[in-house]
Structure 1
Amino acid sequence: MDGDARINPYLAGNFAPIRSEDDFDLTVKGEIPAAMRGALFRIGPNPQFEPRDPNHHWFGGDGMIHGFYVADGKVGYRNRYVRTPKWELEHEHGRSLFGSFGNPMTTDPLAMGNEGGVANTNIVWHAGKLMALEEGHHPFEVDPKTLDSRGYVRPYGGRVTAHPKLDPKTGEMVWFAYGVGQMPLSAGMSYGVTDKDGKVVRRSDFQAPFACMVHDFMVTENHALFPILPLTASLERAMSGKPAFAWEPEKGSYVGVMRRDADVSTIRWFNTEACYVFHPLNSWEEGDKIFCDVMRYDVAPLFPNADGSPGQKAAARLVRWTFDLAGNSDAIKETPLDDLDGEFPRVDMRVETLKHRHGWYAADPTRSGTVKQSALAHMDFQTGKRQVYELTGGDLTSEPVFVPRSADAPEGDGWLTAVIWRAAENRSDLAIFEAQDIAKGPIAVAEVPRRVPFGFHGNWADLS
């Protein structure tokens, strides 16, 4: 085996970690609108030390936050590690101690019994708190201006996932958790609500049809939907040296539908063929029907089969799932919406849980079947028109994040932000577009003097 074959792809190129924590004033080319004031926070995995597991997975790195602070046509940049208990323990010992996904087979005895949360997947501004989130631990609060770590927000009563939904009408944050219970990698789940003031007012536990990675979920004005898809979880499998999470299509796919004000015992399980969804675009309801626009994969990418053999490359495309609550069938109706491969779909956050007109996502016109996205796309669902801005020269983009022109601007009226890796220069830019005219290219670019590694999610916050 040659040297290149041994390089973990998630530790190479722009997946590779950066270890410095920096503060830069960025050079701006073009003109940032004077009305654009606030901060774009992005987060992703950035291992503090060389991982213990030779099969290290991208999802397992320590969280690092990248803050872009925009005001008066200027941009300041700051990045900091999220100093979780895991980060602190490993920092103390000067080396990696935890196995991937907490696997006890690859965890150092020094770390056994300690929290292994990485806080690397999403970063959310709610009720005056900036919180870093991941799949299986409490939210972790950081200072929005300095990015200094403040610690876990404990009132959540246990683990939560990284994809809450913010209700624009009530101000509530609606969330869920999976793998809940005494045993890791279980089928236990929780449904929770945090009110507009940051108080946790509900946490209810229930059992899913089987244990799996429930990366995200869907919420409408009155309902919550829980996708149970066959990227399964198994402690027994992990303890035998096989993958903790693996693709088992024979399990099929289920989506549980529940009124937000109802008991979890009322969940109705709809079904469809085996597929995977990391991220929905948005969901809403009309009468007795619920509509969910999701990025759907035929098979789960990035993960192996249950026997440990490599999984398939796969790409997602935007489809609409329809749930007929008044019908006699529990089948999910599926309608294709777009034929362009993509990921990280986003809407104007002011219409999350409500019917939307506009959507944006990172796209892959090359159909590579990887998570590397070389374009941005805008969909106008009212006209059916799609705009695409393609990058060149091997450049790749992050998830796009919408910024409204003003608090009361119409849906979709504002700017789109994306962090772009410039392959030839091995550094990154913050690019700003007119949200409904992305094809003409960015109206402004703020240049980072080094690269920002590929990450997961970001959100805009008005810190005034």
Structure 2
Amino acid sequence: MDGEVRINPYLAGNFAPLRSEDDFELEVVGEIPAGLRGALFRTGPNPQFEPRDPNHHWFAGDGMVHGFYLADGKASYRNRYVRTPKWKLEHEAGRALFGTFGNPMTTDPAAMGQDSGVANTNIVWHAGKLLALEEGHMPTAMDPRSLETLGYAQAYKGRTTAHPKIDPKTGEMVWFAYAVGEAPFATGISYGVTDAKGEVVRRDDFQAPYCSMIHDFMVTENHVLFPVLPLTGSLERAMKGMPPFAWEPGKGSFVGVMRRDADVSTIRWFNTEACYVFHPLNAWEEEGKLVADVMRYDVAPLFPNADGSPGTKAAARLFRWTFDLTGASDAIKEEPLDDLDGEFPRVDPRAETLKHRHGWYAADPTASGTIKQCAIAHLDLKTGKRQLYALSGGDLTSEPVFVPRSETADEGDGWLTAVVWRAAENRSDLLIFEALDLEKGPIATAKVPRRVPFGFHGNWASF
């Protein structure tokens, strides 16, 4: 309609930016377990200024970290922007300078060629360091208590992933990076390892079949798996005013498999039909095979087609991918594990890279066909039993994060944490559950006096 004002959905409701940095003591309803001591850190996109790009994408906002600190039955909250070089440059200018994903067509000439990192996707605790991560730049170190930005972790020597995996046996952090090369949207991929002391001990590059947005990957005890799926990046498209990242199913789907101790020249490429995975649950080794449980989409959601036309709405379901390392076929065997729409799957971190029994994820029992996170699910892969904690009144949950009861507790014995937006009150709560008894409901609720905008990932740290 003529004169109609289009509202960007990523700048409205609980996607809308929150520009205050606050410290709160939280009211607690119920009882926070005495053994739950540490902090849940979460991060997400939060544009400092009104974006320049009318088609601003949720993934492109400045990173803001939210810390929930728990001890002695009490809870406090603190949030701070990640003060990246981009954030500082725009803060000084008092306005947005960069286009979405650094798009040169919508970037102010004053910022052309400058660092566009946002550190908005994940935040991990490894080797005594808190690192804010995204897919295009080095990790940003932050003080875990004050959330002061300490700057780039220069030892990584270039971009890294937002989704490293920490080996529970060795303490190593295994990571990757995509679009590595001189030009934007290059086809290079890096494979890297940070040892248990926090030293980067490996970084090797290889070429992918094409430039794909590789949001996450899979790691087992002895192997690493790189999914190259047809959500493609293209500088040529971007320079024509078309979408920098777009769904291009004709490219096909590939997963590169390599031993962790091998040279990148040994990668073997497996394939399957066009699909997309933002997040795997976990992967492990079993009798000459690699097995990965993944949240699989038929098409990439949230992104347009390569011709610029709107993409198809889609939801993910849990699938199992099997790679036969001893066979002659490079086809990936696929089988569904669950019939419930979901996203943000998590395991007990002590089971990462190993065969797991338990998984948790944000779920949509309404089958809306989109990423509508109105429930939290637990799936016992041994018994096949699924538990569900459903939210009501339009409330929506973040990614659930598991915290072990102790280092020696059985897999799954511990607590589940989740930040939930209360739609009617337009504020948020931190919910704490017994991880294996979701249907019981939260055993404690820490009430935030305002909202925590929708974000991406979080992790627990004990320090």
2:298 aligned partner, one-letter code:
D
SS of the residue 2:135 aligns to: coil
Q: What are the within-5 Å matches in structure 2 for residues 111-126 of structure 1?
A: 111-126=111-126
Query: Distance in 1 between the 2:309 and 2:289 partners?
Result: 40
Tell me by how many angstroms 1:84 deviates: 0.2
Q: What are the within-5 Å matches in structure 2 for residues 220-259 of structure 1?
A: 220-259=220-259
Task: Provide the residue aligned with 1:44 in structure 2.
Answer: 44
1:294 aligned partner, one-letter code:
V
Task: Provide the residue aligned with 1:212 in structure 2.
Answer: 212
- How big is each residue's C-alpha offset from its partner over 1:256-303, in whole Å with a ceiling of 9 and x where there is no partner? 000000000000000000000000000000131000000000000000
Task: Provide the residue aligned with 1:145 in structure 2.
Answer: 145
Give the stretch that moved more between structures: 315-324 or 359-368.
Answer: 359-368
Tell me by how many angstroms 1:335 deviates: 1.0
Task: Provide the residue aligned with 2:352 in structure 1.
Answer: 352
- How big is each residue's C-alpha offset from its partner over 1:94-123, in whole Å with a ceiling of 9 and x where there is no partner? 000001011111000111121000000000
Q: What are the within-5 Å matches in structure 2 for residues 385-400 of structure 1?
A: 385-400=385-400
SS of the residue 1:303 aligns to: coil
Task: Provide the residue aligned with 2:378 in structure 1.
Answer: 378
Query: Distance in 1 between the 2:396 and 2:2 partners?
Result: 28
Tell me by how many angstroms 1:388 deviates: 0.5
1:159 aligned partner, one-letter code:
R
1:246 aligned partner, one-letter code:
A
Q: What are the within-5 Å matches in structure 2 for residues 403-442 of structure 1?
A: 403-442=403-442
Size of the aligned set, in residue pairs, is 463
Distance 1:3 1:444, change over 3 A: farther
SS of the residue 1:356 aligns to: coil
Alignment gaps of 5+ in structure 1: none
| Alignment partner of 1:198 is 2:198 | yes
Query: Distance in 1 between the 2:172 and 2:381 partners?
Result: 27
Alignment gaps of 5+ in structure 2: none
The structure 1 segments of at least 4 consecutive aligned residues displaced by more than 2 Å after TM superposition are 1-5, 369-372
SS of the residue 1:155 aligns to: helix
Task: Provide the residue aligned with 2:342 in structure 1.
Answer: 342
Task: Provide the residue aligned with 1:456 in structure 2.
Answer: 456
- How big is each residue's C-alpha offset from its partner over 1:112-166, in whole Å with a ceiling of 9 and x where there is no partner? 1210000000000001110000011000000000000000001111100100000
- How big is each residue's C-alpha offset from its partner over 1:231-264, in whole Å with a ceiling of 9 and x where there is no partner? 0110001101100100011111000000000000
Query: Distance in 2 between the 1:239 and 1:369 partners?
Result: 32
Query: Distance in 1 between the 2:288 and 2:303 partners?
Result: 36
| Alignment partner of 1:8 is 2:8 | yes
SS of the residue 2:412 aligns to: coil
Query: Distance in 2 between the 1:219 and 1:133 partners?
Result: 18
Tell me by how many angstroms 1:5 deviates: 5.0
Give the stretch that moved more between structures: 401-410 or 425-434.
Answer: 401-410
TM-score (norm 1): 0.99
Tell me by how many angstroms 1:369 deviates: 2.4
Tell me by how many angstroms 1:2 deviates: 7.2
Tell me by how many angstroms 1:370 deviates: 2.4
Task: Provide the residue aligned with 1:156 in structure 2.
Answer: 156
Q: What are the within-5 Å matches in structure 2 for residues 79-158 of structure 1?
A: 79-158=79-158
SS of the residue 1:265 aligns to: helix
Tell me by how many angstroms 1:368 deviates: 1.8
2:119 aligned partner, one-letter code:
A
Tell me by how many angstroms 1:372 deviates: 2.5
Task: Provide the residue aligned with 2:282 in structure 1.
Answer: 282
Query: Distance in 2 between the 1:255 and 1:381 partners?
Result: 24
Query: Distance in 2 between the 1:238 and 1:59 partners?
Result: 16
Distance 1:3 1:192, change over 3 A: farther
Query: Distance in 2 between the 1:49 and 1:5 partners?
Result: 19
Task: Provide the residue aligned with 2:307 in structure 1.
Answer: 307
Query: Distance in 1 between the 2:264 and 2:2 partners?
Result: 53
